[in-house]
A and B are shown apart, each in its own frame.
Chain A
């Protein structure tokens, strides 16, 4: 029922009594949707802060010239590949749940989790590489955002790893695969989020200047 239909009901008149209790799966799905909305708002606000801050004089882009911190992005592309593979494994596992293929489910989420761990490790390696070159968190505002975004993204992935461990546990113990689909949704979301963050951080100043101007944030 659409929201408008709901809001125009007349509850003081006799109405239908039948709304059914929802299944536990739907409850969890609904909670994941709410959670993803909250995370989206959080990162949306970070995006806006990034765009606003980028309009000040001292802003230096990250990936324009060889001397800049993100000019060599090989490690980041490799990490991105890990996350894509991780997401694909979860997708495969969640399809296997629908086909009652227990073996594939287990293999899928196990390998998916390992790729996610590889992504986190890869991001930390990249941090180390940056710091070895003297690019610390207070080097420039854009690089501060880089550390902040990647750190928060890792934190969200670590939260996902808890759900991953729970999914693995309930699969082993009770053969219950209901969490696998939700993990897959969350992983796809984090992949898309990472792609957006990566694109924003390495994009040309003209690009985010244009977005900032479009949003009325230009100087």
Chain B
């Protein structure tokens, strides 16, 4: 497609609202995801208020608490993390990094965002219906999710399931675009193995999303049938409130299998883009080529494939055949190998690098730390015999928050500090950024590290109140109060980040086209922020891989991907 064919939209509506430009859609996706993420952050703070200071807040009753837990979990995992990595960064970076003018189907891309927004609106609407949002836990296990007694078992659960269905349609439309753009719209010279690892991570995560979300779609539809039409896919014969329900013979375990067939790849839908982005942040800010590029790509592919054969490690306590558990424990432990290779390679990239302690680099280093800690506790939980006593305790909460809560969020922040200059033409304020990093990094450790101890003590998760349990010592209650104070501190620290985003947009230092002296194509655009069609008259030609930092024989310490070979001095 030539620049002439790519007419820039003129009116406000076509430029910023019904936009088909991947960069605008990316920002729409990101802002919506950040907004809904803030809602989930407030919900988690409310949960912590109850846990830290039980009974002090009248408006948090048991039902409200379960609703906060459910909505916090679902929003964070699906509507924030998935949406911002694929819809936000995927949209912004794929065409720019592979040297395309836009996604291959801009109209479908626009539809994808509007479906996503609709899914968010439907989800948030559940706060305002009779009975409120569902309180079934983010896993939405039947039969309790749709039976009276569970908060939001009427409209709340219906809106949740409908919202998920709409989200999956949105994710599929987006995913079709991302995969096809990577496969078919790369510029000349951009072979697959010259793509930055960010694109590899997003590409593989998109494939996982396309193949895993159908499982959630299947379970959502079947549960809606059970709820609305009285079928018995998942619902067994059951007495509820002293009354025999019309269902019989259904299998709740079938739902668990379907849910986790989606649920575990979902972890990697979030993690793989984070892996890719972190690789690029570390390489750029350490001025060194990434250590073991091919191994990094292989690891991404292997993790993607393996992520489909580990789902039942979420179900060890469901009463499965021991051989089944043995199989899933083995696959779970095997997936640690490629993951560990990635961690080694990040560390070896840093080794003897010319490290610049910029804010994105700090967040990348923070990620390596939290991800390693969270990953190690995964080895404990992956073993059936260790998992059984730790299951449903705060050890699990600590594990998954470290590994797929805090870690990817640190990457999102790092990535925003890294690419904000390209998106806006302004640098984010460094002082505020550093404060934001230390407050978030140390604060989240203060929140989640102590939870491991609570878990080992046997403190169960999902409980509204912990009074009158002899095995829980008073010290656990003190620890809970401490965690709550840390959580409030971390939540407030995010206001500094939001202020920084707004303040820097108007008052920030001009960034210039390539403030980090990075090699990848998005930094080589004609204008910053890039205009419609990205590249002016001609698209760039790719001459090299994305990691030519500190190459001997050159004056500058980086060679952009479109830097021609013959320019060697």
Contacts and interface: CB of A to CB of B under 8 A. Distances in A.
29 contacts: A6-B191, A7-B294, A7-B297, A9-B193, A11-B193, A11-B194, A11-B544, A12-B545, A17-B189, A21-B188, A27-B180, A27-B185, A30-B180, A31-B104, A38-B210, A38-B211, A41-B210, A41-B214, A42-B217, A42-B218, A45-B215, A45-B218, A52-B251, A57-B249, A137-B231, A138-B231, A138-B232, A138-B246, A141-B249
A199 interface: no
B218 A46 contact: yes
B547 A12 contact: yes
A26 interface: yes
Interface string A193-216: 000000000000000000000000
Interface of A: 6-12, 14-22, 26-27, 30-31, 34-35, 37-38, 41-42, 45-46, 49, 52-53, 56-59, 137-138, 141, 144, 148, 152
A138 B188 contact: no
Contacts of A26: 184
A12 B565 CA distance: 12
A52 B187 CA distance: 47
Nearest to A29: B184
A197 to B, nearest CB: 14
B386 interface: no
A53 B231 CA distance: 12
B251 A41 contact: no
A7 B225 contact: no
Contact of B545 (A8, A11, A21): A11
The 9 closest A-B pairs by CB, nearest first: A58-B249, A17-B189, A11-B545, A42-B214, A138-B230, A144-B231, A9-B193, A11-B193, A22-B184
B293 interface: yes
B254 A53 contact: yes
B185 A22 contact: yes
A137 B188 CA distance: 54
A82 to B, nearest CB: 26
A49 to B, nearest CB: 6
A11 B249 contact: no
A17 B114 CA distance: 38
A31 B180 CA distance: 6
B543 interface: yes
B380 interface: no
B464 interface: no
Contacts of A42: 214, 217-218
A27 B179 CA distance: 10
B340 interface: no
B209 to A, nearest CB: 10
Nearest to A38: B210
Contacts of B544: 11
Interface of B: 104-105, 172, 175-176, 179-180, 183-194, 210-211, 214-215, 217-218, 221-222, 225, 229-233, 246, 248-251, 254, 257-258, 261, 289, 293-294, 297-298, 301, 541-545, 547-548, 565
Nearest to B105: A31
A37 to B, nearest CB: 7
Contacts of B215: 41, 45
Contacts of A46: 218
A15 B232 contact: no
Contacts of A20: 188
Contacts, number: 130
B48 to A, nearest CB: 37
A214 to B, nearest CB: 17
Contact of B176 (A10, A21, A31, A59): A31
B214 A34 contact: no
Nearest to B301: A7
B191 A37 contact: no
A37 B213 CA distance: 12
Given A6-B193, A10-B294, A27 B184 contact: yes
A137 B225 contact: yes
A10 B297 CA distance: 12
A136 B278 CA distance: 53
Contacts of A52: 251, 254, 257
B251 A56 contact: yes
B176 A144 contact: no
B256 to A, nearest CB: 11
Contacts of A144: 225, 229, 231-233
Nearest to A57: B249
Given A37-B210, A137-B230, 10 more contacts: A14-B565, A21-B185, A31-B104, A49-B233, A52-B251, A52-B257, A137-B229, A138-B229, A144-B229, A144-B231
Contacts of A6: 191-193
A92 B426 CA distance: 57
A49 B261 CA distance: 12
A31 B106 CA distance: 13
A12 B293 contact: yes
Contacts of B189: 17-19
Choose among A14, A27, A34, A57 the residue with the greatest number of B CB atoms under 10 Å from its CB.
A34
Nearest to A152: B221
Contacts of A41: 210-211, 214-215
Contacts of B217: 42
Contacts of A58: 232, 248-249
A20 B297 CA distance: 23
Contact of B211 (A9, A19, A37, A56): A37
A26 B188 CA distance: 16
Nearest to B100: A21
B213 to A, nearest CB: 8
Nearest to A59: B249
Contact of A34 (B185, B188, B210, B231): B210
B289 A12 contact: yes
A52 B189 CA distance: 49
Contacts of B248: 58
A58 B236 CA distance: 10
A141 B235 CA distance: 11
Contacts of B548: 12
A46 B230 CA distance: 19
A21 B2 CA distance: 11
A27 B218 CA distance: 28
Contacts of A59: 249
